[in-house]
Amino acid sequence: MKKLIASFMLLAMLCGLSAPAFAEEAVAITEAVSAVADVAAEVAAPAEAVVEAVAPVPNKGDTTWMLLSTLLVILMIVPGLSLFYGGLVRAKNMLSVLSQVFAIFALISILWVIYGYTLAFGDGGGFNWMIGDLSKLFLAGVTPDSTAATFTDGVVIPELSFVAFQLTFAAITTALIIGGFAERIKFSALLVFSALWFTLSYLPIAHMVWATGGYLFEMGALDFAGGTVVHINAGIAALVGAIVIGKRIGYGKEPMAPHNLPMTMIGASLLWVGWFGFNAGSNLEATGGAALALLNTIVATGAAALSWMFAEWMLRGKPSMLGIASGAIAGLVVVTPAAGLVGPMGAIMLGLIVGPICLWAVSGLKRSLGYDDSLDVFGIHAVGGIIGAIGTGIFVSPALGGVGVADYTMMGQVMTQATGVLITVVWSGVVAYVCFKLVDLTIGLRVSEEAEREGLDTSTHGERAYNM
């Protein structure tokens, strides 16, 4: 009971942080009202100006694409990620993983509309390099008529569709982390950690990379669909979690083979399908750019599934289904920052590179460092994400078939990309460490040894996955 109260207090503290915002909001609204009055006065004068100043209206095709993409990303999370992860754990922990992903999705979607959206995409004034403001707390002022900008001047989409689309990104990023410490985390601790990490790491990083005025955005760091914001961010948090929480009981001694690889295959497939919404949806418009991102999301994934498979076949003697599926996920991760920026041949190159490197990361690197990242979130998402971030800087080059960016030099762009990676690694690492420690001191991160041996399904959730 004490622990429950402690977790509520932590949540309450989080909400408390947002209290002073109401005052700011009131000021902002007053300013806005006077601004509107000024505009009205100006508009009243020349009649032609009215025609030019008319607000752009969302295109129905773009709107449809954004709504559809949002649904696809939800498909990635529940059920995609749930099943991918679920199949990889032992049967006694199946439901715990499904519950964790499901509950995090539910939790983050609520937090996102309460304060997440405004902090990620608002204008933070003096702190705008790092974080937004609270002007749209509880989605204040966001109506079916309000619009969000796209990458094309004068083309807008309904702001609510942008809010929903970005919600799914925040949710999947937070849910990805659980793979690092699956099979041993305390459920209440996970929920509190998720709320804290989402607030202190996801929101600032998303703002820095994607919002106008954000530090990395202004610096020119390229991250088309979230290689840095989503995958490096989550991968590092998962690694820190795996280390802080410690290894599973019996790790390296008892067999911990996946209990149901067909489910992992189903999950990986749903992730792939959903990823078209994730990557091609990040184009924000239903255009050729979206088509490029979609095609890249097919071929990079195919290339990585093959390169992982062949590497495993050569080095270990057998091409495994889990290897093909893991390679596919690594390919999806690597092409995420690059999706709309590189050409299809560049995407294939990224896929070919990422497979063997991630295979090494989940075997050689993991063994030599000795951490127990249960489902290889670090080895696939952080390592794949870093290769993607750097690779985007290379393959965006028009000489290599990429779409190019203004004032492009390969060295310069790679340095910018590396800066983005570094900031994210340090930021997410430090925030995750502090959040894990905070939760550990208040609630405790880990279930009891007895509960862990029994399995989290019965000990935490009071049910079992398979009654046969």
- Contact footprint for another protein (CB under 8 A): 255-258, 316, 318, 320, 322-323, 326, 359, 362-364, 366-367, 376, 379
Is 423 exposed, middle or buried, given 0-12, 13-18 or 19+ CB atoms closer than 10 A?
A: buried
Shortest gap between Cβ of 199 and another protein (angstroms)?
32
Nearer to another protein, 332 or 362 (CB): 362
Shortest gap between Cβ of 258 and another protein (angstroms)?
6
Neighbours of 294 (CB within 10 A): 18
Shortest gap between Cβ of 322 and another protein (angstroms)?
6
Cα–Cα distances (Å) from 66 to 11, 111, 130, 279, in that order, read: 32, 21, 26, 11
Residues with Cβ within 8 Å of 399's Cβ and at least 6 positions away in sequence, in order, are none
Nearer to another protein, 234 or 361 (CB): 361
Shortest gap between Cβ of 207 and another protein (angstroms)?
34
Rounded CA gap, 98 and 86, in Å? 6
Q: What tokens appear for 60 in the block?
A: 């129905």
Nearer to another protein, 97 or 189 (CB): 97
Kindly give the interhelix angle for 159-176 and 203-210, rounded to the nearest 10 degrees.
130
Nearer to another protein, 152 or 363 (CB): 363
Shortest gap between Cβ of 378 and another protein (angstroms)?
12
* CA dihedral sign of residues 408, 412, 418, 420: negative
Shortest gap between Cβ of 324 and another protein (angstroms)?
12
Rounded CA gap, 456 and 464, in Å? 9
Nearer to another protein, 285 or 376 (CB): 376
Phi-psi region of 63 (alpha: psi -120 to 50; beta: other; left: phi over 0): alpha
Shortest gap between Cβ of 210 and another protein (angstroms)?
32
Nearer to another protein, 54 or 257 (CB): 257
Nearer to another protein, 262 or 364 (CB): 364
Shortest gap between Cβ of 257 and another protein (angstroms)?
6
Residues with Cβ within 8 Å of 459's Cβ and at least 6 positions away in sequence, in order, are 447, 450, 451, 452
Nearer to another protein, 355 or 393 (CB): 355
Name the nearest CA neighbour of 190 among 203, 39, 182. 182
